Amino acid sequence: MIFGFEQVKNKPLFSRNLSKWGSLQRVESREFSYLLVPAPFADGAQKSRHRGFQDVWGQMKTAAEQNGFDIIDRQDNPFAESLNTREYFDTPDFALRNKGFLIRVATDYVDGDPKNTCTMVVKESSADDFQRVFQSTLEIDPSFTGVTGIEENVYINRAFELDNSLEIAKKVTLEPGTLGDRTLGDFGKVIPQLLEQGLPAATALSRHMTYSYDVKPGHVVLTPSCKARIKLELWTREPNAHPFVGDLSFEVMTDPYDDMADVHTQAEQFSLTVLGQHCREIAFSDAARWGGSKTRLLLGLPDTVGDTHE
């Protein structure tokens, strides 16, 4: 047993994806996530966070190198910390999430103060039906400008296999006042399809907020032509407070998804072997219950509720 998972051998996840769904050329990236126990970060104060990030990075780097992976340290201030807040909006009974939708508002901070813009993100996601994501009708209203991305989220499940979901995200940068009282109708002004989910525009939404502290200390070399940046992240419910979860993630750009088996293989091996087997001391012990998702943990939703992985 490895922190509650049973070892199961299977075809690589990317191979299963291609066998099941055919071409995945529209998928732009794969994000591999691994939840961390918050203990190394002690009370969550800045010095504790800094020391915790260094300790976690050192343990991961040692495990990687012992398993044949090269780690490249960032040369310029590798543990420079970024702060943002993330606010998640839904009905009290998670009506949107249960339909596969997620609303998030993120605000970056500079020198301790929030920027005068925020990023609204609406996602449609599924773990069972990738075609739903490819056929999503989510659109940004023409009066706003934004970007669209499709990403595969990868995590380790209870069977110690890599598991996943697929999401399409619509991102729009706004002045906070644009969102008014942050009712469903306020968000629907930006993404009109939110108003097609059987809920009145005046529906009041509950807010779940977290403070996110992160560092990007370096990269893992997957192949000579592919280096993936690693991010360490810590979530708290109040500024500089006791953290409730951490996360180690890395993102692989997938262009073209169908024709990069060597990169997929190395990324999956790094996740399962280096993180899953050799970083057990820093693993969040109940990660599988939450589907490897910090957001599920924040919201108090085990992975049996809804399909949105984040």
Q: Are strands 146-156 and 29-36 parallel, antiparallel or unpaired?
A: parallel
Note whether residue 6 is domain-resident. Answer: no
pLDDT tens-digit readout, 58-67: 999 999 999 9
Tokens of 72: 């490249």
3-state secondary structure 246-307: EEEEEEEECCCHHHCHHHHHHHHHHHHHHHCCCCHHHECCCHHHHCCCHHHHHHCCCCCCCC
Q: What is the pLDDT of residues 274-292, one digit of tens each?
A: 999 999 999 998 898 999 9
The answer to whether residue 305 sits within a structural domain is no
- CATH of residue 224's domain is 2.40.320.10
Task: In whole angstroms, give the CA distance from residue 275 to residue 292.
Answer: 13
Q: Indicate whether 238 belongs to any domain.
A: yes
Tally of CB atoms within 10 A around 177: 8
pLDDT tens digit sequence for 11-56: 899 999 999 999 999 999 999 999 999 999 988 899 999 999 999 9
pLDDT band at 68 (very low <50, low <70, confident <90, very high): very high
- The residue-averaged pLDDT of 222-237 equals 98
pTM of the model: 0.93
Checking if the pLDDT of 6 tops 80, the result is: no
| Residue 306 lies inside a defined structural domain of this protein | no
d(CA 310, CA 296): 7
> What percent of the chain has pLDDT above 90?
90
Per-residue pLDDT of 72-124, as tens digits, reads: 999 999 999 999 999 999 999 999 999 999 999 999 999 999 999 999 999 99
307, part of any domain: no
How many domains are there within the chain? Answer: 1
Distance, CA of 178 to CA of 118 (rounded, Å): 10
